[in-house]
Amino acid sequence: MNVPVSQRATAAARPVPEYATVAGLRDLYRTRAASPVEVVRDLFARTEKYEPHLHCFVTQTPDIALARAKAAEKRLMHPGPGALTGIPYGLKDVINTAGVLTTGQSKILRHNVPEHDAAVEACMKAAGGVLMGKLTTYEFAHGGPSWDLPWPPAMNPWKPGYLPGSTSSGPGAAVAAGLLPAAIGTDTGGSIRMPAANCGIVGLKPTYGLVSRRGVLPNTFTFDTCGPMTRTVEDAAIVLGAIAGYDEGDITSVKRAPVDYLRDITGGVRGVRVGWVRHWYDGDERCHPDVAPAVEAALKVLADAGAIVEEIRLSDLLVYQDCKTTISITEMFSAYEHEFRTRPQDFGLMFRNKVLAGALIRAEDYFQAQRQRLWLARELTRAFKDHDVLATAGWMTPAEPAQPDKLDKFLRPPNITTPFNIGGQPAMNIPCGFSREGLPLSLQLATEHFAEALLLRVGHAYQLATDFHTRHPAEGLIQ
Amino acid sequence: MTRTYVQPESGTQTLKDLPPSTPEEIRRMAAQAGLQLPDGIMEELCKAYPAFEAMVRRLPRARLKFDEPAHHCVADARIGKLDQ
C-alpha cells in the first residue's frame, strides 16, 4: 500500500536526492523521475566525500549495488516490483552477507567472508533492495566506542568530534548524513534506538521474535533483535514489512500472519492511551536539561491530537539494567568463549572489559536475573493492559563527544531503552527536538508485543504534526 | 496522581553487603573457570570485575519458589497470560 503524499511525513523537504526517503524514492521510480542506478551513483559520490570524516562503512559494495540497481531498473518495468526495489540500504557489520566481508568490527573476524546471507539480508534482497555496504558497529555490537580495532568508530554528522551513539553507530550516522535512506541495525539493549536518538532519525526495535536473527552475530541470545533505521516512521514501516516474518531457522522466530504496516498508519491517535514514564529520565536518573522539555512538548503534541496521556511509574531503570547486564555478559561470554580462551588479546579493550567478567558469573546469578526478567516483563505487561503506548525519552542525553583516552568505563548509567528489551516489546525512537547546541533529541514509544502497526501509527501521527525529522546536518558541519 | 505498576519484589534479600572480591580471589575464580589469561588481561579483569560483581549482588534473592525464569523462546502472549 502507498500512503497518499498529503499524509506523508516527508523528509525530502528540500529537493536533495540524498535526503529522499524510501517512500519518496519509490514515488520517483514509479514516475520515472529517477532511476536506481542514478541514485546509487549519487549516493556513492556523496559517501566518497563524507566517509573519510564519518567512518560509517567497514566495507562498501559498489559492484553489488550497481548490479542490483540495474536489476531493479528492469524489475520496475514490470508490475508488482518488490517493496524495496531500487532502494539503497546498508547493513550493520554483524549481519552475514554471502561473499562479502562480515567482521563484527573485530580483529577476530577480520577476514571473515560468510557463505550464506543472514535471513534479514535475504529479505532485503528479495524485496529488491540495493546493498551499498556493511556499516560500522562496536565490536560484536557491544562495548565501544573503541580506537584499538582495525576500523575507527563512526562519527556523528551533526557535530564534528561527536559520537553517533551505541553500536548501530554506522547505520545511524549514514542515514542521518544522507548517505543511505535506510539501514538495518541490531538492538540488544538499545543499539538501534540510541544512535537513532543521537543522530536525529527513526530507529525501530521490533518485537523479539518478529524479525529473524539467523545469520546475525550474537550479542545476547535472550535480547537480540534487528530492525530498521530510517529518516521517517513511514519508511520504517516499509522496511519492517520487508523483513518481518517467520523463519524456522531462528528458534525464537514467531509464526504470525503477515501485517501491512502502512495500512493504518494514517489512522491518527485519537483515543490512544499513552502511559508516560517520566521518572525514568527525570527522577531515578537525571537526563540532560534539554531532554525533559522536548519529551514533554512531544507528549503535548500527541495529547493535542487526541491521545490520552497519563503519567505512570514502573521499576527503576537500574533494576532493569542489572537484570539485563547480568544476562548479557554471561551469554556474550558463552558466545565468544572459545576466542576468549585462545586469543583474548585479539579483542579490543572495551569488549574485554565489558564481557570477560561474564566468565565469573555463577549459574545461580544468571538464573536469578532470568527470574527477575520475567518479573519485570510482567510489570510491563500490566502497564500495557491499561495503556496502548508507553512513552518516555529516547535517550538521556544528546550526542556526546568522542573521548579516545577514556576507556575505563565498565558499566554505564542505566539505558532508558533497556526495559523494552527485557520485556521483548517493540519500541521506536523518533526525533522530537534539538538541544541548545543543535543536537537531536528523541521520543521513545513502545507498545505491547506485535503491535508494531499501532506503534508506527502513533509515530507517524507525531511526524505529521512536527518537522524535526525533516532537518538535516549542515553540510559544512559533516567533517 | 501517578499510577504505579511496581509490585513489591518477591525476593527482597540481596548480596549487597558482602565484601568485594580481592584481586587474589578474582584470580582464583578465573583459574577455577579455566581461564589462562596473559598478565595484562588478568589485570584488566581484576579492575573490571568489581563493578559487575556489585551489579550481580543487587539482584533480588530468595524469590518465591514459583517465580520461574524467563525463557528466551517465549516471546508471545504467554508472558501476559502468566499474570492472569
Low-confidence ranges of chain A (pLDDT < 70): 1-16, 407-411, 476-479
pLDDT on residue A79: 80
Q: Classify residue B53: in a domain, yes or no.
A: yes
Q: Classify residue B25: in a domain, yes or no.
A: yes
pLDDT on residue A478: 66
pLDDT on residue B66: 85
pLDDT on residue A14: 39
C-beta neighbour count of A374 within 10 angstroms: 20
pLDDT on residue A9: 64
Tracing cell 514501516 back to the chain, one arrives at A237
Closest CA to A58 of A104, A26, A22, A21: A104
Q: In B1-84, which residue ranges form alpha helices assigned H by DSSP?
A: 23-32, 39-57, 78-81
C-beta neighbour count of A292 within 10 angstroms: 17
C-beta neighbour count of A309 within 10 angstroms: 17
**Cβ neighbours of A379 in B, within 8 Å:** 5-7
Which residues pair with residue A131 across a beta bridge? A89
Task: Please tell me which residue of chain A has the smallest CA distance to B34.
Answer: A341
Q: Classify residue B57: in a domain, yes or no.
A: yes
Is it the case that residue B73 has pLDDT exceeding 70? no
pLDDT on residue A248: 87
Do residue A209 and residue B9 have CB atoms under 8 angstroms apart? Answer: no
Q: Which of residues 245-274 of A touch B (CB under 8 A)?
A: 251-252, 254
pLDDT on residue A13: 44
Which of the residues A410, A411, A422 would you substitute to probe the B interface, choosing the one with the greatest number of B C-beta atoms within 10 Å?
A410
Closest CA to A371 of B7, B51, B27, B71: B71
> Domain total for chain B?
1
Q: Classify residue B4: in a domain, yes or no.
A: no
pLDDT tens for B13-50 read: 899 999 999 999 999 999 999 999 999 999 999 999 99
User: How far is C-alpha A205 from the chain's CA centre?
Assistant: 6
C-alpha span between B15 and A322 (Å, rounded): 13
pLDDT on residue A54: 97
pLDDT on residue A381: 96
Q: Classify residue B2: in a domain, yes or no.
A: no
pLDDT on residue A404: 84
Query: In this prediction, what percent of chain B has a pLDDT beyond 90?
Result: 62
CA dihedral A419, A423, A425, A430 (to 10 degrees): 0
Domain that includes residue B57, residue range: 14-65
pTM of the model: 0.95
C-alpha span between A233 and A102 (Å, rounded): 28
**Cβ neighbours of B11 in A, within 8 Å:** 368, 371
A199 and chain B in contact, CB less than 8 A:
no
In three-state secondary structure terms, A184 is strand
Backbone angles phi, psi at A209, to 5 degrees: 100, -10
CATH class of the region A5-477: alpha beta
Closest CA to A350 of A158, A51, A102, A137: A137
